[in-house]
Chains A and B, each alone.
Chain A
Amino acid sequence: MTATARGAGAGAGAGAASHDVVKSGQRAAARSDQSAGGEAKRATFQIWRGDGAGGELKSYETSVSEGMVVLDAIHQIQAESANDLAVRWNCKAGKCGSCSAEVNGMPKLMCMTRLNDLDLDEPVTVEPMRAFPVVRDLVTDVSWNFEVKKRIKKFTPRAPDAPDGTWRMAQSDVDRVQEFRKCIECFLCQDVCHVLRDHQKHDEFIGPRFLVHVAALEMHPLDTENRIDELRQAHGIGYCNITKCCTKVCPENITITDNAIIPLKERVVDQHYDPLRGLVRLFRRRK
């Protein structure tokens, strides 16, 4: 490679503005080196091993280095001493929502759970999500979620706004829908929801993930479909009693309860329990 065009104008301007960049960069680097604390530590992980018929926590020890997340430790253990340890993962950057599990009892993405946020003097427990049947080790059968989605009425846009077949939408009108569409389908909200986790109402309640999905469709500025009847009946929105556990565990920080579920509940109330509308409905039915 040849260094050409070492333009005087370019180089000269670069110094002053960038000096602070380097200083704060060096500071950040030094800070992270400090927290590395020298030689590698060992830590113990209690990992649930088993299948649909049952299983137990098994103990594994591995070395821990700067910046490691739980998924790194799982991979290390898999490569070192448990080649057949089953775990789902893909992006390792909190974007795909594959590596959901319960770390020290908390529903988490393993790829975004830093070891230095955990107490490594105690064993770290890693277990599969409890709201779904176990396939093996940390992998659960989440196929129910994919079935639920099929039952939700599809996006149905209004006719295009412009002759070229396109639409016009203001950014402020799509902000809320974009929040819901951040969902990475990790199903941690489903895992923590007591209606599914404790009461196993999988046949009657679609869970927070799919209430968010319905909200994204219902509040889409172009959508013309109405999903309110199903929300009340087949989707079981009434089961949600707004404990907000789903919002707390959402790795995308979607305000599931306040922004999605409560407005949907209000729409159900509007359409089904508003006395004036009730009268209108009664009148229409008799006609």
Chain B
Amino acid sequence: MADYETHAHDVLVVGAGGAGLRAAIEAAKSGARVGLVCKSLLGKAHTVMAEGGVAAALSNVDDRDNWRVHFADTMRGGQYLNNWRMAELHAREAPDRVRELEAWGAVFDRTPDGRILQRNFGGHKYPRLAHVGDRTGLEMIRTLQDYAVQMGIDVHMECTVVDLIKDGDRIAGAFAYDRDRGRFKVFESRAIVLATGGIGRAFSVTSNSWEYTGDGHSLAYRAGAALQDMEFVQFHPTGMVWPPSVKGILVTEGVRGEGGILVNREGRRFMFDDIPENYRSQTADNEEEGWRYVQGDKSARRPPELLTRDHVARAIMREVREGRGSPHGGVFLDISWIKSKMRNAPDHIKKKLPSMYHQFKQLADIDITAEPMEVGPTTHYVMGGVRVDGDTQMSTLPGLFAAGEAAAGLHGANRLGGNSLSDLLVFGMRAGEYAAKYAAETPPARIAPEAVDAAAKAALEPFGRPTNGSSAEGPYQVQHTLQDMMQDLVGIVRRQEEMQRALDGIAGLRLRAMTVSVTGNREYNPGWHTALDLENLLIVSEAVTRSALERQESRGAQFREDYPEKDPAYASFNITATRGTKGEMIVSRVPIPPMRDDLKQIVEENK
């Protein structure tokens, strides 16, 4: 029998980024015994990397803003594949969630009259992002972390969940190992919230850290829940491209929000060249108007650099592919030019974008107050995730909830910048609330010892395999091969034939993953951890590829070279991925319920 520790909770939250922390806080507030599990130390999750701000229609800077406009912006950005109920709740509740953070100690930048300052961002009609310079995520995670710690929530740091355990058709608990000693832990919990973030590590150029291996997506899928919208992977338009070791690191959209422009090697501000029809009326048609907009002139329309991320990323790709890129295969992003418009530009830039200044100075020897940056697209975010109910965040599996990036629905085909931080607050809270409610109303579940033994045996398998000879391969080779393949074949520009090759590749890598061997022992062994992550990466890679094949059109973040136009026939359903009885992946088209009339009207009014 396997050797393990047992912990009992009413609600187990997996992941301690913004969504997980917010869920844990809410569940604890309602009196549930909450356990919070995270793969890293507390406070290091990817929320910390979020720079630009949190979107909420506080209307502190522009009083024309309100939740209706935010709702309409979110739906337009998502190309109407969003779960409209989630988009509604998100737009309505985000302002309260942001103000609540202030009551818990967050210190946002201020307006001249002392309220929370808001900035412009892509796809948002009015200045809407509450922020702290360009380190908003750090401010949020620290505020939530300190608040959760003060509530006395049990935190299991550096602990990885590898399996969910069911009792019949509902959730009973989770099986995990602690990273530092390699000991097993069993969490008894009849409600589990997955807040595990994204899947960026399935690609080679990404802004995501090692943690983002699609754990929550894969745990839910393997337990029988449905994934949705997995074809929609957001490639953030501006990642660093040089030097090679920093390729993919994020350059905040805030640079463009503060007036940064994109320029090709010919000196052309190419974003003016291709403005999509549905944004034409909201977009400036000359540079002067664009500058007035970022300076807060309410009569001006936004510059094309602030179009949605999918569009900007493709425009950059086009410039590079057609030979007009910068020396290292990106384009130029320039904020230093504003010195021609304001006297104290260098100080202004350092004040508004301190981490960007720091990051480029230290990692690339570039002074962004004097020189342009070189940038290109980087895998950043997955709109797809666990299919959930809009109000409760419960998945199709009773007792299993998901929130934040791990859940699907809010963002549809493309996420607007700033909507992820508000997403994790609004739906983290809702997931915590309803998970606690579910746990209170549900009798305890039973964990079968055989299920634990099987999970323990599977987790230790990589140690038992031969470590030398021709068949021995380490986990890193398989991981790197998968990442390179996904980047090449299922990246920002997709084609049928390439994605078919990717599916074959995934099948081959799955066999290799079953034979990788690891050296050393169970104590803090990254080789072992990487070997166990491979299954998750392979599942999410397959889900992305199969969903992308099924959607034979270009919409939002998905660009199909073989189907370059948007097809109205694809506007009425989401694509889901579920596990079949033989372990095969089943892809289905699930109709989107008709939008409520009052919401339809809001969309019309804001067109």
Instruction: Give the residues in chain A near B138, CB-CB below 8 Å.
Output: 95, 181-182, 184
The proximity string for A residues 81-120 relative to B, scoring 1 for CB distances below 8 Å and 0 otherwise, is 0011111111111111110000000000000101000000
Chain A residues in 8 Å Cβ range of B525: 84, 86
The digit string for A3-19, where 1 denotes a CB below 8 A from any CB of B, is 11111011101110111
B104-135 to A contact mask, C-beta < 8 Å, 1/0: 11010110011111000000000000001101
- Please report the C-alpha to C-alpha distance between residue A35 and residue B263 in the assembled complex, in whole angstroms: 25
Q: Does A218 contact B (CB under 8 A)?
A: no
State which of B109, B147, B243, B336 has its C-beta within 8 Å of the C-beta of A32: B243
Counting CB contacts under 8 A, is B508 at the interface? no
Q: Is the CB of A181 within 8 A of B139?
A: yes
Which residues 504-551 of B have a CB within 8 angstroms of A? Answer: 518-521, 523-528
In contact, B135 and A169 (Cβ under 8 angstroms)? no
Q: Render B233-256 as a binary contact track against A, CB cut-off 8 A, 1 for contact.
A: 000000000111110011000000
B4-12, B44-52, B68-76, B418-426: which lies at the interface: B44-52
CB distance from A141 to the nearest CB of B (A): 8
A271 at the interface (CB under 8 A from B): no
In this assembly, does A238 line the interface, its C-beta being within 8 Å of a C-beta of chain B?
no
Point out the residue from A7, A20, A69 that lies within 8 Å of B245, measured CB to CB.
A69
A95 touches B523 (CB 8 A): no
Q: Which of A22-30, A195-203, A227-235 contacts B (4 or more CB under 8 A)?
A: A22-30
User: Does B288 sit within 8 A of A, measured CB to CB?
Assistant: yes
Number of A-B contacts (CB under 8 A): 273
Does B107 contact A174, Cβ atoms closer than 8 Å? yes
User: In the docked arrangement, what's the CA distance between A285 and B163, Å?
Assistant: 61
Residues on the A chain within 8 Å of B149, using CB: 146, 149-150
Instruction: Assess whether B268 is interfacial by the CB under 8 Å rule.
Output: yes
* B42 proximal to A (CB < 8 A): yes
Given contacts A89-B210, A166-B102, whether A3 and B274 have CB atoms under 8 Å apart is yes
Binds B, one of A54-62, A131-139, A242-250: A131-139
Say yes or no for A178: interface residue by CB 8 A criterion.
Answer: yes
Assess whether A282 is interfacial by the CB under 8 Å rule: no
Asked whether B166 is an interface residue with its Cβ less than 8 Å from the other chain, the reply is no
Asked if residues A1 and B318 are in contact (CB atoms below 8 Å), the reply is yes
Compute how far the CA of A91 lies from the CA of B44 in the bound complex, rounded to whole angstroms. Answer: 8
A167 vs chain B, min Cβ distance (A): 7
Q: Interface extent on A, as a size class?
A: 35 or more
Asked whether any CB of chain B lies closer than 8 Å to the CB of A68, the reply is yes
Query: Would A136 and B244 count as touching, CB distance under 8 A?
Result: no
Distance in angstroms from B349 CB to nearest chain A CB is 15
Residues of A within 8 A of B99 (CB): 165-166
Residues of A within 8 A of B267 (CB): 14-15, 18-19, 21-22
A65 contacts chain B at the CB level, 8 A cutoff: yes
Which of B79-87, B169-177, B358-366, B452-460 contacts the other chain? B358-366
Q: Which of B337-363 contact A (CB under 8 A)?
A: 337, 340, 355, 358-359, 362-363
Q: Which residues in A have their C-beta under 8 angstroms from that of B157?
A: 143, 146
Residues of B within 8 A of A67 (CB): 242-246, 363-364
Task: Indicate whether A168 sits within 8 Å of B113 (C-beta atoms), given known contacts A5-B275, A83-B476.
Answer: yes
Q: How far, in angstroms, from A90 to B207 measured CA to CA in the complex?
A: 11
The yes or no answer to B327 lying at the interface (CB within 8 A) is yes
- List the 3 closest pairs (A to B, CB-CB), nearest first: A67-B243, A84-B520, A10-B272
Report A's interface with B, CB cutoff 8 A.
1-7, 9-11, 13-15, 17-22, 24-33, 35-36, 51, 65-69, 72, 78-79, 83-98, 112, 114, 135-137, 139, 141-143, 146, 149-150, 154-155, 157, 160, 165-171, 174, 177-178, 181-182, 184-185, 217, 220, 223
Could you give 13 example pairs across A and B, Cβ below 8 Å? Answer: A11-B273, A13-B288, A18-B267, A21-B372, A25-B334, A68-B243, A68-B245, A85-B526, A92-B246, A93-B246, A93-B249, A96-B44, A220-B105
